[in-house]
Amino acid sequence: KNEVEQSPQNLTAQEGEFITINCSYSVGISALHWLQQHPGGGIVSLFMLSSGKKKHGRLIATINIQEKHSSLHITASHPRDSAVYICAPDKSGSEKLVFGKGTKLTVNP
Amino acid sequence: NAGVTQTPKFQVLKTGQSMTLQCAQDMNHEYMSWYRQDPGMGLRLIHYSVGAGITDQGEVPNGYNVSRSTTEDFPLRLLSAAPSQTSVYFCASSSRGAGEGEQFFGPGTRLTVL
């Protein structure tokens, strides 16, 4: 069983829609990262969080440690948000990240 | 700052050849790591380092060696390339451990082994 499950695997939206990507994990963690991989392949960090909620522009990330679940929300989606979004929990005490397989988001104009 | 740099961007090897993928960062980060990314699979950790002189194995270390003689550099060596090592390789760094600092990724190296 995968330690990290993301849903959905693929998501197509119209510009302006509210997007939610979910991440469930089975391991104990000290923090969780959300990453964005652009169509060209580059990977950038969006959020690192260990509790509660963080907001950056139109992006919001939440985490519920007790339920072992995190969500990434995009408000007023735009075609430039089209990318693969990756959830990566840090296993407690291991110095290692584990990665979900990613959610491919396509936002159409 | 250049951030995390990787060379080469593309490489084609024949089975049995050896090569070194270079990774360097100019942010004075202690933690560095190597991942491979294959279609349909998440990123998988190959090796990581928590500081100069300290390295450890990740999830898929077989066929790869690393060393960390300086804070800046973390090369990945393929000892005898195999077609199963065809992949995209990413180097990453952070100021502290994996769960304590923002991760910075290099642009990746696309490796094909024939």
Task: Give yes or no for residue B97 having a pLDDT over 80.
Answer: no
Q: Touching check for A56 and chain B: CB below 8 Å?
A: no
| Separation CA A33–CA A12 (nearest Å) | 23
- Partner-chain residue, chosen from B48, B88, B101, that has the shortest CB–CB distance to A96: B48
CB contact under 8 A, A100 and B107: no
Give residue-wise pLDDT tens across range B21-77. 999 999 999 999 999 999 888 899 999 999 999 999 999 999 999 999 999 999 999
**Between B18 and B102, whose confidence is greater?**
B18
The predicted-structure confidence for B44-57, as pLDDT tens digits, reads as follows: 999 999 999 999 99
Q: Does A92 touch chain B (CB under 8 A)?
A: yes
- What is the model's pLDDT at position B98? 59
Task: Look at residue B10 in the predicted model and tell me its pLDDT.
Answer: 96
Chain B CB contacts of A98 below 8 Å: 42
Cα atoms in the 13 Å half-sphere on the side-chain side of A18: 3
Chain B residue at shortest CA distance from A45: B103
The reply to whether omega before B107 is within 30° of 0 (cis) is no
Tens of pLDDT, residue by residue over A51-95, are 999 999 999 999 999 999 999 999 999 999 999 999 999 887 777
Which site among A23, A27, A97, A101 would you substitute to test the B interface, given the most B Cβ atoms closer than 10 Å to its Cβ?
A: A97
Q: Order of strands, edge to edge, in the sheet holding A52-56?
A: A4-7, A19-25, A69-74, A59-64, A52-56
